[in-house]
Amino acid sequence: RQVKGKQMAALYDLRAIRQGIYADPEIYANDIVYVGESAGRRLFQAAIQGGTLLSAPLIAILR
């Protein structure tokens, strides 16, 4: 989604949401939702594993 002109992405753990550990994420008009395995998701995971970000759900600003 775009927030104040910046592209944003979030990665959620569906198992944690189903277990009630995290609330259901809010979905807004024009959001794009990807479910399952994808090359983009693997790239996103590789990028966050290289850093010290430890947050769930993880929110990132895309350039």
pLDDT tens digits, 4-62: 888 888 888 888 888 999 999 999 988 888 777 667 677 777 776 765 445 556 566 55
pLDDT of residue 23: 92
pLDDT of residue 58: 59
pTM higher than 0.75 for the full model?
no
How many domains, in total, are found in the chain?
1
Torsion of CA 27, 1, 11, 17, to 10 degrees: -10
- Domain hosting residue 11, numbered range: 2-62
